[in-house]
Chain A
Amino acid sequence: MMQQVATDTDAQPAVLAMDCKLNRIFYGNFLAVRDSHVPIEKNKITGFIGPSGCGKSTVLRSLNRMNDLIEGFRFEGHVQFIGQDIYGKGVDPVVVRRYIGMVFQQPNPFSMSIYDNVAFGLRINRYKGDIGDRVKHALQSAALWDEVKDKLKASGLSLSGGQQQRLCIARAIATQPQVLLMDEPCSALDPIATRRVEELMTELKKDYTIALVTHNMQQAMRVADTTAFFSVDISGGSRTGYLVELGPTSQIFGNPREKLTKDYISGQFS
């Protein structure tokens, strides 16, 4: 049962994969993010942009409860996912993370073979089918198969940075998670590798829902369907991030409603 929400800029009702309504996120006593409503549309790429410290990564990592691993983290609000609140009572973060995959800023393959890296998720989910098939399929989807098909036994760490990141993407999609969270996946890559990963993202959105944090506005313009602009509020003496504006990428970059957004995309404030 998917939620139906109409956004004011889109005549067609959008199908949401996730709906994040957060009131406040704390690290200890530090208020990191406040008052942000971030819907994640199904089979779309939602890009999170904003200056550093605006909490865009924090919000992304709240979507699969990765932040629960950080001591003092507290989330006030709700994240609807397949009809349930992932911050609801009795929810095990481990279960949430099984359904919502994640690709990180630094390529982080395990120190095991390429094959085992991709098969890792299948094995922990006790996949009964043909693991070899799945691995091949995932590597193909990640546009890495042709490069590694002859050395599946080689260590994942022996690949180049761009290949490692695609391996991590293959590892994340091998289990076909409902949503893929990508936290600045290209920030450690060179322009050519970045290009490949961006192409891959647009390919993947046919089958997956992607939430993407990026520090690169051009990247958001190139790949994101919807863009969420976060900013940081330093009025209270501390730095608290919040969502300024969310809308179709063309509208955010072409005709922003908020002055802050306009200033940011025109480079008047970082």
Chain B
Amino acid sequence: MKKPFLHNVETDSICQPPSPSVIFVDRAFRMLARLGVILVFSLIVVLVLEIGIKALPSIQKSGLDVITGTVWDVGQQKFGILPAIWGTLYSSLIALFVGGFFGISMAIFLTQDFLHPRLAAIFRAIVELLAAIPSVVYGLWGIFVVIPAIRPLTDELNESLGWIPFFSSTLSGPGLLPAALVLAIMILPTIAAVSQDALRAVPLRTKQAAYGMGTTHWEAILKVMVPTAATGIFGSLVLGLGRALGETMALAMLIGNSNQISLSLFAPANTLAAMLALNFPEAGPSEIEVLMYAALVLMLITLVVNVLGSMIITYAQRGMK
């Protein structure tokens, strides 16, 4: 038995060593917190393992054929997810171009003294509200607003410029372009928020130095502010891409779920996430295995992109200090 410190000291002081119950509670609580952390860490491991193990039979059976296959036919037991991978990347890249342009413009607009602070607060709230709207609501809005709105334009483009592969079909309803546009709106807040952080992190002295040289407002922005914040802005685009790749509902509702590989912006397509959403509820055992395979592919793609994005942003933040 260890002799506790000060156990035998008689003092008239109010000070007392903590009671055994306090010490016990302290130990127990710290253990519990450690357990909580271990659980959080193991969750991601279990998540990857669970999907990986369930995908294993399909990986063993068909190997890379699933990734390179272009036909999805349950009747023939043919499962190829290449069109879905293509659609995932294609729609995300378009969304990244559109969302990236508007997101970065918005970040410049909000951080580079274009606005009275009160007006800036309103625009900032608009961006935050855009982020708050659930994706299924965007999907609904896409069906009833975006598709009818862009249809005349797409018909026009197809008629006059149909020889360009991008415009080589008509928009019969759902399709790649409306899905990508809605996706762009959904990733815009992420890009705007992270880019704003990057632009705000540029030290004031850098900005003052630029103005001190007699640059105009825009010369300062384009030649000094944006290049200085470039790494962070790039990171915001990578994170935006990560979000786009994994987004499900808006795409499931708008892209048309057609397993074809086409350059046309107006043709229906498919994405990995949308495929999971649509096929999972009614899938048989062999289909589930392949869907798990698809989930694993989606997981790996988004994991790589997200980790890359976080690393770029961490690197950018270190550079600023």
The reply, when asked whether chain A contacts chain B directly with Cβ atoms under 8 A, is yes
A154 in contact (CB, < 8 A): no
Check if B13 sits within 8 Å of A94, measured CB to CB.
no
B2 in contact (CB, < 8 A): yes
Residues of chain B lying within 8 A (CB to CB) of residue A88: 5
B15 in contact (CB, < 8 A): yes
Residues of chain B lying within 8 A (CB to CB) of residue A122: 14
Query: Contact partner of A99 among B2, B15, B23, CB < 8 A?
Result: B15
A91 in contact (CB, < 8 A): yes
Those of A172-230 within 8 Å (CB) of chain B = 174-178
Those of A154-185 within 8 Å (CB) of chain B = 174-178
Known: A90-B2, A90-B3. A98 touches B16 (CB 8 A): yes
Check if B13 sits within 8 Å of A84, measured CB to CB.
no
Closest-by-CB residue of B relative to A83 is B9
B281 in contact (CB, < 8 A): no
Check if A176 sits within 8 Å of B15, measured CB to CB.
yes
Check if B4 sits within 8 Å of A95, measured CB to CB.
yes
A126 to B3, CA, bound (A): 22
Those of A112-137 within 8 Å (CB) of chain B = 121-122, 124-127, 134
A82 in contact (CB, < 8 A): yes
Residues of chain A lying within 8 A (CB to CB) of residue B4: 90, 92, 95
A127 to B17, CA, bound (A): 12
A85 to B13, CA, bound (A): 19
B19 in contact (CB, < 8 A): yes
Check if B18 sits within 8 Å of A175, measured CB to CB.
no
Residues of chain A lying within 8 A (CB to CB) of residue B23: 92
Query: Contact partner of B14 among A90, A91, A95, A127, CB < 8 A?
Result: A127
Residue with the greatest number of chain B CB neighbours at <10 A, chosen from A84, A124, A127: A84
Residues of chain B lying within 8 A (CB to CB) of residue A92: 4-5, 17-18, 23
Q: How far is the CB of B138 from chain A (nearest CB, A)?
A: 41
A92 to B2, CA, bound (A): 12
Check if A82 sits within 8 Å of B9, measured CB to CB.
yes
B6 in contact (CB, < 8 A): yes
Q: B8-27 toward A: CB 8 Å interface, digit per residue (1/0)? A: 01010111111100010000
A246 in contact (CB, < 8 A): no
Check if B3 sits within 8 Å of A98, measured CB to CB.
no
Residues of chain A lying within 8 A (CB to CB) of residue B5: 84, 86, 88, 90-92, 95-96
Check if B6 sits within 8 Å of A84, measured CB to CB.
yes
Query: Contact partner of A175 among B2, B3, B9, B14, CB < 8 A?
Result: B14
Query: Contact partner of B15 among A84, A86, A90, A98, CB < 8 A?
Result: A98
Check if A98 sits within 8 Å of B18, measured CB to CB.
yes
Q: A66-94 toward B: CB 8 Å interface, digit per residue (1/0)? A: 00000000000000001010101111101
Closest-by-CB residue of A relative to B14 is A175
Those of B93-134 within 8 Å (CB) of chain A = none
Check if A126 sits within 8 Å of B15, measured CB to CB.
no
A102 to B15, CA, bound (A): 14
Check if A95 sits within 8 Å of B3, measured CB to CB.
no
Q: How far is the CB of B105 from chain A (nearest CB, A)?
A: 41
Closest-by-CB residue of A relative to B6 is A95
Residues of chain B lying within 8 A (CB to CB) of residue A94: 18
A122 to B15, CA, bound (A): 8
Known: A90-B3, A95-B4, A96-B5. A134 touches B13 (CB 8 A): no
Interchain residue pairs with CB less than 8 A apart (18): A84-B5, A84-B6, A86-B5, A90-B2, A90-B3, A90-B5, A92-B23, A95-B5, A95-B18, A98-B17, A122-B14, A124-B18, A125-B15, A127-B14, A134-B14, A175-B15, A177-B15, A178-B15
